[in-house]
A and B are shown apart, each in its own frame.
Chain A
Amino acid sequence: MSLKRPLFGFLLLNVALMPLMAAPQPRSRSQAAQQTDVKAHAKQISGANTSVHQDEGQRVFEQNCSRCHAAPDGFSSRISGTVVRHMRVRASLSQHDEQELLRFLNP
């Protein structure tokens, strides 16, 4: 068996996993502000001061997204609309649920 291809596969995997092996770097304030942290939102919303919209958005998230997969650690707010539209199709969300989920991800 040629060595080139397993080596190529191994290198590809390593390049892909490289960000994980690096120690987590502190993010700048602006970078942090642009991240949608789903888990943090859920924790904040579980407190006493919750808005109706956030409650509704969390309900939609729990009932439609996290039923199938774990919440990602976080993602850029620039793709939150795309994530929600993808979930609308994949999880058959209603328009109302789509809007509440978008508010939940971008409070």
Chain B
Amino acid sequence: MPRFGLSPLFVEMAQAARLVVFALAVLCVGQYAGAQDTPLLSGGVGFFTSTNGGNTTYQPIIEPLLAAPIGQHLLIESRAALIETYAPRSNGLSGYDHTFFGALTYLQGDAILTPHVTLVGGSFLIPFGTYNERLSPIWISNFQDGPLISSLGLASTGTGVGGMLRGSAISHRKYSIDYAAYFSARSGSEQFHSERSSGGRASLYLPDKRLEIGLSYNRLLQDVHENFYGAHVWWEPKNTAFRLRSEFARGHHAQGYWIEADYRTQAFGGLDSFIGRFEPVFRMQQTFRRDTVVSDGLPLANTQRADFGLDYNLPHNVRIITSYARQFSSAGNRNIWETGIVYRFLFPAWKGKSQ
């Protein structure tokens, strides 16, 4: 919203500048860190196009991530998203409209209390399922868009403002168990919007089988209290570049699942050969309504969707992501074509001496 007669572009740039200044301020906090503990800047720069039901949108995006250690036991980390979206005008008008979105995805402080307990405070990603915490960064995800059920259990925004305890409960050669438990307060702040909720996740990992099984729970503690349940299974057979990931989530009004498989062959000169850099990806997902109350972000009609992707992993941390999806629902079937390119960067925040 323009303020004081300034143009929207100026206001948006001012917001972006505030983010940068804030990031620099956080960086300065960690300037006395050790030689291997120099603060880092990482993240992804991408350009995406998506054609959904005949409408094509274009989306330049930057997702910077900052991590700044303080002393031996503290870490400040934050991720932001700067997105410009160009979409066709509605109501039969020609041309494109564009919107800018810039916000901190999370900003948290981590205190390593014991070998098995880390205390997280601030604005953090809600630990429900696997997509939100692990797969949502643009330089990690195999597809441009998240699963249909990705909003379940994430209290609208995907972030909580409060505290979290997490860590590795048990870590053996044969098995390991990790956990995360959080409480989030309600926050109406523009940058750190969150809902009052509580929950957590526990996962069992079997290294020999390369199998992970986890359960998640979340309870919304404001307005109508609702429970969300989640389960995930990840399997990556040893000595292969095949990965199978899946997740199920059940909310008060809807439920669904996704299964994703990706593979890179090592048969033609390894993963870094011309052929080995190709990565076919497939994702199947279904959502089911339990009632018609609109409160969870899932489609209003039962939906089935199959995504067929072909990614290519270029040298220098560049990735081309392409996919075709066919979505079936009583509200209408549609084709979704997506292409994009993502560059992942990772470097020290400033020059310094090596150890």
Which residues of chain A have a CB within 8 Å of any CB of chain B?
Answer: 1, 4-6, 9-10, 12-13, 16-17, 19-20, 24, 33-34, 39, 59, 63, 67-70, 72-73, 75-83, 85-86, 88-97, 102, 106
Report how far A84 CA is from B355 CA in the complex, Å: 16
A67, A72, A77, A90: the one contacting B317 at CB < 8 Å is A72
Verify B134–A68 contact, CB threshold 8 A: yes
Contact with A along B169-198 (1 / 0, CB 8 A): 001000010111000000000000000000
B60, B98, B139, B168: the one contacting A1 at CB < 8 Å is B98
Report how far A90 CA is from B134 CA in the complex, Å: 8
Report how far A67 CA is from B68 CA in the complex, Å: 24
Assess A106 versus B36: contact at CB under 8 Å? Given A94-B115, A94-B171: yes
Residues of A within 8 A of B135 (CB): 68
Q: How large is the interface on B (under 10, 10 to 19, 20 to 34, 35 or more residues)?
A: 35 or more
A73, A89, A97: the one contacting B315 at CB < 8 Å is A73
A52 shortest CB reach to chain B, Å: 12
Residues of B within 8 A of A70 (CB): 313
Report how far A83 CA is from B62 CA in the complex, Å: 20
B35 at interface (Cβ–Cβ under 8 A)?
yes
Contact with A along B9-36 (1 / 0, CB 8 A): 1000000000000000000000001111
Verify A1–B97 contact, CB threshold 8 A: yes
Report how far A78 CA is from B133 CA in the complex, Å: 26
Residues of B within 8 A of A94 (CB): 115-116, 167-168, 171, 176
Q: Give the contact stretch, choosing among B38-46, B224-232, B285-293.
A: B38-46
Q: Which of B67, B166, B313 has the most CB of A within 10 A?
A: B67
Nearest-CB residue, chain B, relative to A15: B45
Residues of B within 8 A of A97 (CB): 168, 171
Assess A78 versus B36: contact at CB under 8 Å? Given A1-B96, A17-B343: yes
Residues of B within 8 A of A79 (CB): 36-40, 346-348
Residues of A within 8 A of B96 (CB): 1
Report how far A13 CA is from B59 CA in the complex, Å: 11
Which B residues between 116 and 143 are near A, CB-CB below 8 angstroms? 116, 118, 120, 133-135, 139-140
A5, A68, A82, A95: the one contacting B9 at CB < 8 Å is A5
A32 shortest CB reach to chain B, Å: 12
B236 shortest CB reach to chain A, Å: 6
Assess A89 versus B60: contact at CB under 8 Å? Given A68-B135, A94-B171, A97-B171: no
Verify A76–B347 contact, CB threshold 8 A: yes
With A82-B40, A97-B168 known, 7 other A-B pairs at CB within 8 A are A17-B45, A33-B354, A72-B346, A75-B347, A79-B347, A82-B69, A86-B77
Assess A90 versus B9: contact at CB under 8 Å? Given A79-B348, A82-B40: no
Nearest-CB residue, chain B, relative to A10: B60
Residues of B within 8 A of A68 (CB): 134-135, 140
Nearest-CB residue, chain B, relative to A75: B346
Report how far A1 CA is from B318 CA in the complex, Å: 31
Which B residues between 311 and 334 are near A, CB-CB below 8 angstroms? 313-318
Which 9 pairs between the two chains have the least Cβ-Cβ distance?
Answer: A81-B36, A95-B115, A92-B178, A94-B168, A94-B171, A16-B45, A81-B37, A79-B40, A9-B60
Residues of B within 8 A of A80 (CB): 36
Residues of A within 8 A of B353 (CB): 78
Report how far A103 CA is from B72 CA in the complex, Å: 16
Report how far A30 CA is from B96 CA in the complex, Å: 50
A8 shortest CB reach to chain B, Å: 9
Which B residues between 237 and 267 are near A, CB-CB below 8 angstroms? 243
Sample of 19 A–B contacts (CB below 8 Å): A10-B60, A16-B45, A68-B135, A70-B313, A73-B317, A75-B346, A76-B347, A76-B354, A78-B348, A79-B40, A79-B346, A79-B347, A79-B348, A82-B67, A83-B40, A88-B112, A92-B118, A95-B112, A97-B171
Residues of B within 8 A of A78 (CB): 35-36, 38, 348, 352-355
Residues of B within 8 A of A13 (CB): 45, 47, 60
